[in-house]
Structure 1
């Protein structure tokens, strides 16, 4: 006869505890794997959205050599609120550099609205003032339609720099709260202007008159470097700002560099200053006047 011996109450309790712990551990591991899988998928989707938003620029546009890159401060996704675009139009080569308040996924929708408006208006409008007004109206519609109580409309503002490079190299710009670009000529690196910009888009109505600033010519061999404030305002562990102008001047002493080389040099120095990732999104757009240069490049 087979006897079934009942376990002691202590043994039963111990077994139940081990069973509960094992079940909880299994559930935790499965939940962790699910969350990691969903996080990877979200990052992949965010990366695809960012690639569609900031489309890779061709290396040469209407005789100008071009390179651009953006670094996000958001550790959860490779996206940010910085934006840039360069378009060859019948009115000249037009470009935009902008910075949406905030960073990461929250800023992506506003950046998409501004970029989409620029890509249309840059070809349609005969002057930069018309382009800027189109961007302003598109942002206003976005703010009205967004209807997100957790994010007041007053928070959706964008710094924008619009510029136009004519066939003869003449450079004109409109600036709404954005850092002025640097012109690299020979061994010098100077801001193209020190004038006070207009307020960022979304804070106040645009003035009735919007005359574009004449910034002089971008001569063959000269380089224009546009950046967001995430570059100039980046700080190291001791709170010191990134010395962008000094870095550009040091780089210029090496001779005229192709835009991709200059871009890599600036980001290398920036990350050396801030550490692995800056506290704010950072974007840089480099345009060199390669007109008259058949290859479109200058040996490093």
Structure 2
């Protein structure tokens, strides 16, 4: 069933064909009832026709079938008692069909309205996500990139996982993060951090200075109203990287976030941070000194950045998704192909439904 601009149902050809089922039932019951002996009454079976119609039809279709059932019941009464007013029994059956038909029509109208509202909500959430969290461009200087966002709730399609990239004079800066919490508060915090990153990432500042600026921005927003210097329970884990255009090590600061993975010739290597910084938003409590980690990123390597919704995804038996183990031996030639395979593998592992939002960014270095 589809809807037109006026909000009324527009049955697809298959639904139109299915209408023949309740109509055939009405005809069969009516003919059989008329031919049977007077003490046998099949009229009550007519209610099955409008009752099954909402499975494939909208309000108009249900109303039409219900009207046909009422007409059929009236004709049965007239033919069974020719020359007389409808018996009390037949009158009761007609009234029952009218009430059932009206109830089903109202049900379909409410259902169609809710479906339209849900469609509008999905459209708004998708638009908001494209504004707050647009997909990464396919090319970032010498890098090829791809991004994936999987929302736990199909109706929401937006949450607190985040990623962004910014070009600088010497390379590309990336951030992947995860806001503690859910709902619109998490979306607001994610938007705040992304805005701060886009403003500051291209400036001529060190990676430590950039992360310190991001932490101050988040701390300022998370301060409880009327309580200067007091911080709420929200924070954001993040990994911030600086990838040079020319050959050279990647610089990274991890703020309590899952470590990146380098996939080189099908062999994954986890880039652990021996001295991780606290999550963004908690810097005012610890006065951190940001330690910059370095690692090599060669041509043809795939760099994987992800949120904990990936590694904490569970299968029906409660087993976490073993990311490094599952991707061992994968030799996809580009980030898009890798993400297509990854998405299929992750959803297969969890049985098609995630318990938490999950995001991944895949970057590959090409020759300048």
- Please give the TM-score of this superposition, normalised by the length of structure 1: 0.81
1:84 aligns with 2:146: no
Cα distance, 1:60 vs structure 2: 1.4
Q: Distance in 2 between matches of 1:277 and 1:160?
A: 25
1:124–1:206 CA distance, 2 compared to 1 (3 A): farther
For residues 68-147 of structure 1, what are the structure 2 equivalents within 5 Å? 68-144=147-223
Structure 2 residues without counterparts, runs of 5 or longer? 1-89
Aligned to 1:271: 347
Q: Contact conserved, 1:74 with 1:80, CA < 8 A, in 2?
A: no
Match of 2:136 among 45, 57, 60: 57
1:181–1:279 CA distance, 2 compared to 1 (3 A): same
Match of 1:161 among 223, 227, 239: 239
Report 1 or 2 for greater relative contact order, CA contacts < 8 Å, sequence distance ≥ 6.
1
Q: Contact conserved, 1:74 with 1:103, CA < 8 A, in 2?
A: no
For residues 201-220 of structure 1, what are the structure 2 equivalents within 5 Å? 201-205=280-284, 207-208=286-287, 210-220=289-299
Q: Distance in 1 between matches of 2:225 and 2:159?
A: 19
Secondary structure in 1 matching 2:363: strand
1:291 aligns with 2:340: no
1:226–1:140 CA distance, 2 compared to 1 (3 A): same
Aligned to 2:252: 173
1:146–1:16 CA distance, 2 compared to 1 (3 A): farther
Once the two structures are overlaid, the 10-residue window that deviates more, 14-23 or 134-143, is 14-23
Aligned to 2:336: 260
Q: Structure 1, residues 181-210: CA drift from partner, whole Å, max 9, x if none?
A: 001222321111242522222245265453
Aligned to 1:248: 327
1:156–1:65 CA distance, 2 compared to 1 (3 A): same
Q: Structure 1, residues 122-176: CA drift from partner, whole Å, max 9, x if none?
A: 01251122222222232233334889xxxxx734221111110123332111111
1:141–1:125 CA distance, 2 compared to 1 (3 A): farther
Secondary structure in 2 matching 1:265: helix
Cα distance, 1:66 vs structure 2: 0.7
Q: Distance in 1 between matches of 2:98 and 2:146?
A: 59
Secondary structure in 2 matching 1:84: strand
Q: Contact conserved, 1:94 with 1:164, CA < 8 A, in 2?
A: yes
Q: Contact conserved, 1:178 with 1:228, CA < 8 A, in 2?
A: yes
Give aligned pairs, total. Answer: 279
Secondary structure in 2 matching 1:205: helix
Cα-Cα RMSD: 3.0
1:34–1:133 CA distance, 2 compared to 1 (3 A): same
- Please give the TM-score of this superposition, normalised by the length of structure 2: 0.67
Aligned to 1:7: none
1:146–1:53 CA distance, 2 compared to 1 (3 A): farther
For residues 188-203 of structure 1, what are the structure 2 equivalents within 5 Å? 188-203=267-282
1:91–1:290 CA distance, 2 compared to 1 (3 A): closer
Q: Contact conserved, 1:83 with 1:115, CA < 8 A, in 2?
A: yes
Q: Which has the higher helix share?
A: 2
Aligned to 2:41: none
Q: Distance in 2 between matches of 1:231 and 1:221?
A: 23
1:32–1:165 CA distance, 2 compared to 1 (3 A): same
Cα distance, 1:27 vs structure 2: 4.5
Q: Contact conserved, 1:74 with 1:104, CA < 8 A, in 2?
A: no
Aligned to 1:297: none
Q: Contact conserved, 1:71 with 1:283, CA < 8 A, in 2?
A: yes
Structure 1 residues without counterparts, runs of 5 or longer? 1-10, 148-152, 293-300
Aligned to 2:312: 233
